[in-house]
Structure formats: structure tokens, C-alpha cells
């Protein structure tokens, strides 16, 4: 069989398996083994399968993944997120609109430890929608807020998507985090502006006496949990950006603080601890499987010479990095409307990375732009994975949620994306100041 025929066969097999509902790791594994087996033969494939799986996930930077996932599990299962909402609500004079804002910010701070924006959106939909309804929020609006919070988890370090991007292109995780800091803050500000406008339009302000509060009588029961969350935020952001600890060390300190804090405030039972550990193991295993088979598929892509062909095809664009990134980002946007970001990164980076290198594009800038575009796509019709998930959980029609979520996507695309695209310094300035992270 000719090499061209093998490439077409693998692409067809990949598409057919996806259409028939097979899991992403299984599709990537089968496509990779089919392609490598036909290209090199059975013996090279068997030899590769003996060593590649362990080599793919045994890098020290990969330790950061279970650490941040475990931290998020402890914080959620101990009820510290609800404590944070209660404290914010009471300190802001019982203004209900600040609760929705808190959900968005929690998506960026706590949700960043999830590798999946739709999984994080689902978690917020399950834990916050009913509470927000008690404060006068429409259910479809709360579903859109949960979806937007899920996308914030992609843009704010310690975003696991950014960690994986750094690992896959062999870049510094700390440098990627620094590069995302300013664009991520702009992303959050834009989303917050949209929320405040929508909340004002919906008439959400100060809670009336007839509405139910989370814990309106006293701030004291919720204060310890909120303080632990604040300490975790200081450890992650202050530690990394202050140059005190590496991203991996910050993950270890944050997960330890979440565990010790939840024990000190007596919120973590043995059952909750075991569930947290079990959930972290399951999610980490899924992520590692995706990485393992993604790297295997990348091996086939490299063998096929597709990256070289794409570099040649995009040759005329290489002289203009902005135009090349614009073309790539359109492709990422289309993919992001239908597929979650993690498999997109794993499938496309083996092809895209050589193109970026050939055009002398700063990888930090490219990573921030790609992540931002995938985040926006998660809120955009016709599917918008984050919106799809929150719609299913809240049992609100998809089109009703899109009426709110689309404004987050439009505003972030209009107010943040052009600045980062045309002013790369927004992503490269902080990394240039701080070395060795």
C-alpha cells in the first residue's frame, strides 16, 4: 500500500470512529497503531508500544497534573467554594450580582486545575446553579455563567491545558504561565464586564428579604474555608510569579494546603478524602491516556511527513506571523466548537509546531492565542461544548443558554483577542522579565 493511501486510510478510520461515538483515546490509539503498523510493519510497532507509553508520561513536569487536580478535588468536596461565595456575598452588602461574579472568578482560580473546560463547567452547573436561582437568577443565565466559568479555567494559570501545551512543545511551564497572565486577566475582565451588563439587564442586584441566602446571618462559619482558598491563591500566584517556587512546587504546596486546611476546619471526612483521591486518579489516568495516545499519533504524523508538507504549503504565509496565526486560529476555532481542547491540542500540535517554528513565531504567544481561541469556541454555536454540558445538566434548552453565552464569546473575541494577536508583547513581556521559572 502506498504511503498516500495509508494517510487517507488513517484519516478515514479516525473520522469514522469519531462519528460512531468511540472515545477520543481509543480513536487516537487505533488510528496511530493502524498508521504505524502499515507504514513500518508489525515489529517496529510492537517495539514502539513497549517503550513509548512509559516514556510519554514519565517526564517530571507531568507530576504537576495530579497535584493540581487533587487540590481542586479537596477544595470542592470540603465546601470551601461555597464558603467563598458566602463571604463575598456578605462582604459586598448582600449583593446577589457579586455571587455570579464569584462563580466566574472561581472558574479561573480553582477551575484551572481541570484539564477539561466542559468538565469544569459541569461541576459549576451542579454546585452553583440552584443556589444562584435562590438569588433571582434565571436558570438559563446561571447555565451560561457556569459555561463561561469553565472557559476561564483554560485561560488562567495553573491551567492544565497550558501545562500540556508546554510539555508537548518542550517549553518552560513557568514561562507559559507568565505569558498567559496578562491575556488571562484581560479575558476575565472582559467576561466580568459582560456579566455585569447582563446582570443589570436581568435586574439582579441586592437580595430582597424574601429570597433565600446561603448563610446570611453570620460570616464566621464560612470564613475559615474562604481563608484557606485565599492562602491557596497566594501560594499559586504569589509563589510562581514571585519566583519563590516553580510551578510543580506550587502545585505540591497548594494540594497540601488544601488537604491540611480542609482537615483543620473539619470539612474532610474519610469518605470525602477517598472520593477526592479516587476522582483525581481517574481524571489523571484519562489525561495520561490522552497524552500517551496523542504522542503515539504524533509519531505517525511525523512519519507521514505531513508537518513538512504543511510547512511547504504555508510557506508564503511564513513571512507574516500574524497572518499565519490568523489562519491557524480560524482552524482551531472551528475545531473548538465541536471537540474539547485537550484532544485538539494533542492531535494538532505535531503538525502545527513545525509551522510555528518555521515562521519564527514565539511559542508562548502562539500557545496563549490558541488557548484563548479554544476557550471562545467552547461558548459558540452550533455546539459549544461548555454550553452543551451545562444545558444538559440544568435541563435548559441549548438555544436559551446560547442567548447569554454568545455575549461572553463575542466580547472576549472583540476586546481581548485582537490585542493579543497584534501586540504579542502582552504575552511575551512578563516571561522576558522573569527567567528560570
pLDDT tens-digit map of 157-185: 777 788 888 888 888 888 888 899 899 99
Write down the pLDDT at residue 217. 53
pLDDT of 36 above 70: yes
Write down the pLDDT at residue 214. 45
H helices of 156-238, where?
160-169, 173-201, 223-233
| Position 195 confidence tier, pLDDT thresholds 50, 70, 90 | very high
Could you give the CA distance from residue 214 to residue 318 in angstroms, rounded to a whole number?
55
Write down the pLDDT at residue 58. 75
Write down the pLDDT at residue 209. 42
Residue with cell 504561565: 177
Q: Taking the model in full, what pTM does it have?
A: 0.79
Could you give the CA distance from residue 87 to residue 380 in angstroms, rounded to a whole number?
33
Q: Among the listed ranges 2-16, 31-45, 117-131, 389-403, which one has the minimum average pLDDT value? A: 117-131
Residue with the bigger pLDDT between 358 and 366: it is 366
Could you give the CA distance from residue 357 to residue 390 in angstroms, rounded to a whole number?
38
In percent, how much of the chain has pLDDT > 90?
19
Write down the pLDDT at residue 207. 53
How many other C-beta atoms can be found within 10 angstroms of the C-beta atom of residue 157?
A: 25
Query: 40-54, 139-153, 263-277, 289-303 — which one is most confidently predicted on average?
Result: 139-153
Write down the pLDDT at residue 401. 92
Counting Cβ atoms within 10 Å, is residue 90 exposed (0-12), middle (13-18) or buried (19+)? buried
pLDDT of 210 above 50: no
Residue with the bigger pLDDT between 120 and 155: it is 155
Counting Cβ atoms within 10 Å, is residue 203 exposed (0-12), middle (13-18) or buried (19+)? exposed
Write down the pLDDT at residue 72. 79
pLDDT of 408 above 50: yes
How many other C-beta atoms can be found within 10 angstroms of the C-beta atom of residue 187?
A: 29
Q: Is 397 helix (H, G, I), strand (E, B) or coil?
A: coil
Average pLDDT of the chain to the nearest whole number: 83
Query: 96-105, 189-198, 212-221 — which one is most confidently predicted on average?
Result: 189-198
The residue among 196, 131, 134, 163 whose CA lies nearest residue 60 is 163
| Residues 43/231, Cβ–Cβ less than 8 Å | no
Write down the pLDDT at residue 57. 73
How many other C-beta atoms can be found within 10 angstroms of the C-beta atom of residue 42?
A: 10
List CB contacts of 190: < 8 A, sequence separation 6 or more.
411, 412, 415, 416
Amino acid at each position: 500500500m502506498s504511503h498516500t493511501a495509508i494517510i487517507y486510510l488513517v484519516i478515514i478510520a479516525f473520522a469514522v470512529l469519531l462519528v460512531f461515538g468511540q472515545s477520543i483515546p481509543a480513536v487516537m490509539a487505533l488510528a496511530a497503531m493502524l498508521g504505524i503498523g502499515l507504514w513500518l510493519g508489525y515489529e517496529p510497532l510492537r517495539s514502539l508500544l513497549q517503550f513509548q507509553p512509559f516514556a510519554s508520561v514519565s517526564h517530571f513536569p507531568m507530576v504537576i497534573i495530579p497535584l493540581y487536580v487533587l487540590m481542586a478535588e479537596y477544595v470542592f468536596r470540603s465546601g470551601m467554594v461555597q464558603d467563598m461565595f458566602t463571604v463575598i456575598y456578605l462582604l459586598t452588602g448582600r449583593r446577589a450580582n457579586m455571587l455570579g461574579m464569584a462563580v466566574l472568578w472561581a472558574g479561573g482560580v480553582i477551575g484551572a486545575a481541570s484539564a477539561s473546560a466542559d468538565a469544569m463547567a459541569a461541576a459549576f452547573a451542579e454546585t452553583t446553579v440552584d443556589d444562584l436561582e435562590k438569588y433571582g437568577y434565571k436558570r438559563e443565565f446561571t447555565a451560561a455563567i457556569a459555561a463561561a466559568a469553565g472557559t476561564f479555567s483554560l485561560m488562567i494559570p495553573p491551567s492544565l491545558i497550558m501545562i500540556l501545551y508546554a510539555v508537548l512543545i518542550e517549553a518552560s511551564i513557568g514561562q507559559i504561565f507568565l505569558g498567559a497572565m496578562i491575556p488571562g486577566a484581560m479575558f476575565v475582565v472582559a467576561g466580568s464586564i459582560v456579566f455585569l451588563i447582563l446582570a443589570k439587564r436581568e435586574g439582579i442586584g441586592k437580595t430582597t428579604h424574601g429570597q433565600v441566602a446561603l448563610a446570611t446571618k453570620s460570616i464566621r462559619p464560612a470564613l475559615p474555608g474562604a481563608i484557606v482558598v485565599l492562602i491557596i491563591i497566594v501560594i499559586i500566584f504569589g509563589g510562581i510569579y514571585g519566583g519563590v517556587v516553580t510551578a510543580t512546587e506550587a502545585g505540591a504546596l497548594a494540594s497540601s494546603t488544601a488537604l491540611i486546611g480542609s482537615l483543620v476546619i473539619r470539612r474532610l471526612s474519610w469518605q470525602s478524602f477517598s472520593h477526592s483521591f479516587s476522582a483525581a486518579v481517574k481524571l489523571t489516568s484519562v489525561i495520561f491516556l490522552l497524552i500517551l495516545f496523542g504522542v503515539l499519533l504524533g509519531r505517525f504524523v511525523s512519519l507521514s511527513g505531513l508537518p513538512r508538507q504543511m510547512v511547504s504549503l504555508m510557506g508564503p504565509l511564513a513571512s507574516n506571523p500574524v497572518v499565519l496565526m490568523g489562519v491557524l486560529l480560524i482552524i482551531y476555532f472551528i475545531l473548538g466548537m465541536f471537540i474539547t481542547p485537550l484532544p485538539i491540542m494533542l492531535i494538532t500540535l505535531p503538525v502545527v509546531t513545525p509551522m510555528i517554528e518555521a515562521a519564527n513565531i514565539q511559542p508562548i504567544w502562539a500557545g496563549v492565542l490558541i488557548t484563548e481561541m479554544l476557550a471562545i469556541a467552547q461558548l459558540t454555536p452550533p455546539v459549544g461544548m461548555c454550553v452543551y454540558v451545562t444545558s444538559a445538566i440544568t435541563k435548559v434548552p441549548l438555544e436559551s443558554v446560547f442567548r447569554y453565552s454568545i455575549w461572553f464569546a463575542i466580547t472576549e473575541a472583540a476586546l481581548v483577542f485582537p490585542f493579543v494577536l497584534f501586540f504579542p508583547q502582552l504575552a511575551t513581556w512578563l516571561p522576558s522579565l522573569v527567567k528560570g521559572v
